Homo-oligomer: A and B are copies of this chain.
């Protein structure tokens, strides 16, 4: 028997393009926003406008952070291979791994894990605090890091965090992952002995998990946001090139050490 490959995304025939069971041209283009379509493709359920607003706030929060290693790598790759924009974009995304973009997914996974093991979902802040306290204590005992705590630049407060919480709250989407994350923000000092801010990337992870997005794909949304940011970086590189200066500043300041 011939292998069959099921899908519910795109397909087409001579006259029609279908996406998610919809007529792409008649029902989606001009009627559905890009963030809305992204959510729909991932969950295969049409999102509400509240979900779209929260989701796009996360994408906006993660789109660009200036001269990150990934932005620099994309610009250098574009310098070397200007004929292949896709290569520069891919090179920038390949830095979206555990260290710089991973917090979003790690936080979502951590929170979901704690909730999955809880006997019941708390009904008030006191309940979330108790759950959070046990989770932070368990992490500390296992010498594990609680993802989403602390930031190299925003040492006291990450400005994105309260705004994301407020937007989720306005839209009725401040769910258990985010409430647990907020509780971690309240209780961790009594375990760790110092107060760390809830960072924006971790908050994004909590919010995305509350949207019901697949936990093992959370990093993907940070990557999508970053893809847009990298287009901004590459457009700026076209207007005001700096990649060659970066290259020269490294090359010129090389200190050669003859191996023994």
Binding site for B on A (CB under 8 A): 2-21, 23-26, 28-30, 32-35, 37-38, 41-45, 53, 56-57, 59-61, 63-70, 72-73, 76-77, 79-91, 93-101, 153-157, 159-160, 162-164, 166-167, 170, 200, 214, 216-217, 219-221, 223-225, 227-229, 231-236, 238, 240, 242-243, 245-251, 253-259
CA distance A13 to B254 in the complex (A): 12
- How far is A67 from B91 in the complex, measured between Cα atoms in Å? 17
- Contact present for A5 and B245 (CB under 8 Å): yes
CB distance B33 to A33 under 8 Å? yes
Q: How far is the CA of A242 from the CA of B224 in the complex (A)?
A: 23
Bound CA span A248–B247, Å: 14
Pick from B24, B76, B164: contact of A69, CB under 8 Å: B76
Contact of A242 among B5, B17, B26, B45 (CB under 8 A): B5
Q: Are the CB atoms of B163 and A25 closer together than 8 Å? A: yes
